[in-house]
A and B are shown apart, each in its own frame.
Chain A
């Protein structure tokens, strides 16, 4: 095996000098454990990443590097476990500061990860190679025809293929879909009886338009759930979380969130659009998952990107021509980066993701001093965790704030909570604020069913309409 292409990959991912040389053997070993061949690495380095990621920007390369560090670290989890390090997993969506606070308190005594999202983000986003994982889970009973979530399939396969060990505990939040938490029961029943699951759930029972974060009963219940989960996790892994760690983690996320909001505003207000939705979405991931390798690498990537985007704006440089229309999205897919690129090739930019953009309410300080009540209130301010009536209201606020030429919905066809309602959500928001919405059925995590060939005409058609609308409103 030649190490050349592996070295070239790390160089592409922003590694330099001795750090690159130190990382190289680990990366070669990790790639094998992840199921990547030398050819896969070559394909990613020479074709896929240069084509679909804005690697002219140092910030983007560092971002890829931050994800790679985490993926490599994930493949070491077995060794960590053998050394007595406690393994804590989680799944999307969850309040990640809880997990980071555990990491802050436990340091090297605990390994914290949401393994499936890293694997999908890295393996499909950078290598376009998640399919073997999906097929392994399908052979185990997550049938292809039922439209199960790729993240859940990946989690199952990661364990089945021994890419990751069973955790000391997986703290699973089921505040959105049912399949996420039930996947852990599936793993426990079918793949690994030592897959220890702790679930924290909340029924979808607020009424249409009701503000969940004003519902005292709901806040109190969720706070109770969180406290129960937090206590149980600490007991299982034997690590007590200090108040300082909680404060540090919350501060870290707030700081990252503020910087990310700045970047989103820059991207949405500049003409020409200086930065693509794919990387913007990827930069949003740290808001939704913990990094066992720490937050400094993604923070560095974000800060570098902001500087570079500012430079582009000052130079009048963009990824699409000046005056070209842009679309906001429910969530721009980073694991399927060609979608964004295909829009750009058709003269339309994808910008912000509704799912990654805070409402004004979310930026307000909490009403409660109790940390669990405050965390519960913060969670319930998230529109996608709320009922559809409130999500419509919040979506109107966000779309109105960023003023895109239209909205692209869809991409969550597998999700019985986040996906199934998007047609009616589109209808309602469009009716209220007159911004056209386009519904494109697709999959956020993978592209087996919705390939480039399958979506090309739909994307071209949407772009034609958006451009015509733009011309009509400009003339």
Chain B
């Protein structure tokens, strides 16, 4: 499986030169920020999407400090930071960046990108999601995004075009669901570190390649033996995002003897649990799936009780032994939610560990982080015995 995963990674990371070549052929490149931006629309407009979802390194966050105050979460700062450092291989050739405007962190960084002269299109995502007119606002915003893409590529986006892309996305999601199901076993044969990376690679690669590669991975896993012991503490990883490249914590959890058998993250993973309807108004289908039929992100309001109900359901369904809350520094909404989750999980008797990252993984930072994770896993293992 690791060989297939490596191939997948290589394909994903060869995407920038591939895009450069496509650009010379006249294709438009569109970078996408956030889970409310459907890549399917970009494909349907005949453009090439590329997710801005990288993180896990301190230098890009520092690069932002010339322009922005330090109290932004490091993922948001990285969105501009890689570009400022000249480390972003795609932004320079991108014809458009489409960014969701869901929270202040990404919204202010989007403004910085505009200030730096980059072409941005913003999709407003109202947080008061239970109001009918808030949904209408998001749906309109997707309509405007579609029109902007049509302007960019000169190609009409049709329902048929969207449907074809949605069918591909649904196929990817189904494969991810099937792979995820292997984690439901008493002795899981795939862990979260690999599963998260599969998700990430699937964002970059062409959908047909992704389907083919995930199929191979699925088949390989199903014929392989157990990878984790049935004594490994089963961990739910929850929080905001594990960005592309930010793998220290998931790997550390599994290196310490735990296994991540489920995630509840707002960004950086495909919402593979459901499918998008393929009949009727396709844009509306996408809008409903992305806005209404999902676990509300932390910044939505109300959200935390609903989110905890969902988290609790995962805990029961996946027989979770402990929850690790992975939070980015200065992410104020997640910090507040963490207090609620901690209290409610404590009431329910489920072990909880809150970790916070500024993307600083130096030796000095890794020592305490490793100790905390190892102690948590060890304590759960003891309980499990």
Contact = CB atoms under 8 A, between A and B. Distances in A.
Interface of A: 140-143, 145-148, 174, 177-179, 181-183, 185-186, 189-190, 197, 199-208, 217, 221, 224-225, 228, 387-389, 413-414, 416-417, 419-424, 427-428, 441
A428 B71 contact: no
19 contacts: A140-B339, A141-B340, A146-B329, A147-B71, A174-B128, A178-B103, A181-B301, A202-B126, A203-B107, A204-B104, A205-B101, A205-B123, A228-B133, A416-B332, A420-B68, A420-B72, A421-B69, A421-B111, A441-B69
Contact of B330 (A147, A182, A203, A205): A147
Contact of B332 (A178, A189, A199, A423): A178
A185 B301 contact: yes
A420 B71 contact: yes
B124 A388 contact: no
B301 A207 contact: no
Given A182-B299, A203-B124, A424 B112 contact: yes
Given A185-B304, A203-B101, A387 B111 contact: yes
B340 A186 contact: yes
Contacts of A179: 332-333, 336
Contacts of B141: 205
B343 interface: yes
Contact of A221 (B114, B137, B301, B304): B137
B71 A185 contact: no
Interface of B: 66-69, 71-72, 101-105, 107-108, 111-112, 114-115, 120-128, 131, 133-134, 137, 140-141, 299, 301-305, 329-333, 335-336, 338-340, 342-343
Contacts, number: 152
A265 B340 CA distance: 48
B124 A146 contact: no
B126 A203 contact: yes
B301 A147 contact: no
Contacts of B329: 145-146
Nearest to A205: B124
Contacts of A186: 336, 339-340
Give the one of A174, A178, A197, A419 with max B CB within 10 A: A178
A315 B329 CA distance: 54
Nearest to B335: A146
Give the one of B120, B304, B331 with max A CB within 10 A: B304
Contact of A142 (B108, B140, B336): B336
Please list the 4 inter-chain residue pairs (A to B) with the smallest Cβ-Cβ separation, ordered nearest first: A141-B339, A205-B124, A203-B124, A208-B114
Give the one of B127, B331, B343 with max A CB within 10 A: B127
B111 A388 contact: yes
Contacts of B122: 205-207
A316 to B, nearest CB: 41
B301 A183 contact: no
B360 to A, nearest CB: 14
Query: Do most interface residues of chain A lie in helix, strand or loop, or is the interface mixed?
Result: mixed
B131 A228 contact: yes
A181 B301 CA distance: 8
Given A207-B122, A416-B108, A141 B67 contact: no
A22 B192 CA distance: 68
Contacts of B137: 203, 221
Contacts of A204: 101, 104, 107-108, 124
A177 B105 CA distance: 10
A221 B133 CA distance: 8
A201 B338 CA distance: 23
Contacts of A141: 335-336, 338-340, 342-343
A441 B303 CA distance: 32
A204 B115 CA distance: 15
Given A189-B305, A224-B133, A423 B68 contact: yes
Contacts of B124: 203-205
Given A205-B101, A207-B114, A182 B336 contact: yes
Given A141-B338, A182-B301, A146 B111 contact: no
A408 to B, nearest CB: 15
A416 B299 contact: no
A114 to B, nearest CB: 19
Give the one of A177, A185, A228 with max B CB within 10 A: A185
Contacts of B301: 174, 181-182, 185, 197, 199, 201
Contacts of A416: 71-72, 103-105, 108, 332
A423 B342 contact: no
B220 to A, nearest CB: 42
Give the one of B111, B122, B127, B305 with max A CB within 10 A: B111
A471 B69 CA distance: 32
B217 to A, nearest CB: 37
Given A141-B335, A207-B122, 13 more contacts: A141-B336, A142-B335, A179-B333, A182-B301, A189-B304, A190-B339, A201-B127, A203-B126, A205-B124, A388-B115, A389-B114, A413-B69, A423-B67
Give the one of B112, B330, B332 with max A CB within 10 A: B332
A414 B71 contact: yes
A345 B66 CA distance: 30
Contact of A428 (B115, B302, B336): B115
Give the one of B115, B304, B339 with max A CB within 10 A: B115
B71 A421 contact: no
Contacts of A428: 115
B201 to A, nearest CB: 30
A221 B141 CA distance: 12
B114 A203 contact: no
Nearest to A189: B340
Contacts of A423: 66-69
Nearest to A147: B71
Contacts of B101: 203-205
A197 B72 CA distance: 26
A450 B335 CA distance: 22
Contacts of A145: 329
Nearest to A416: B104
B102 A190 contact: no
A146 to B, nearest CB: 4
A185 B107 contact: no
A214 to B, nearest CB: 16
A366 to B, nearest CB: 22
Contact of B127 (A142, A174, A208): A174
B100 to A, nearest CB: 9
Nearest to B354: A143
Contacts of B336: 141-142, 148, 179, 182-183, 186
Nearest to A391: B111
Nearest to B106: A204
A178 B114 contact: no
Contacts of B133: 221, 224-225, 228
A395 to B, nearest CB: 14
Contacts of A217: 140
Give the one of A143, A199, A205 with max B CB within 10 A: A205
Nearest to A418: B104
Contacts of A199: 127-128, 301
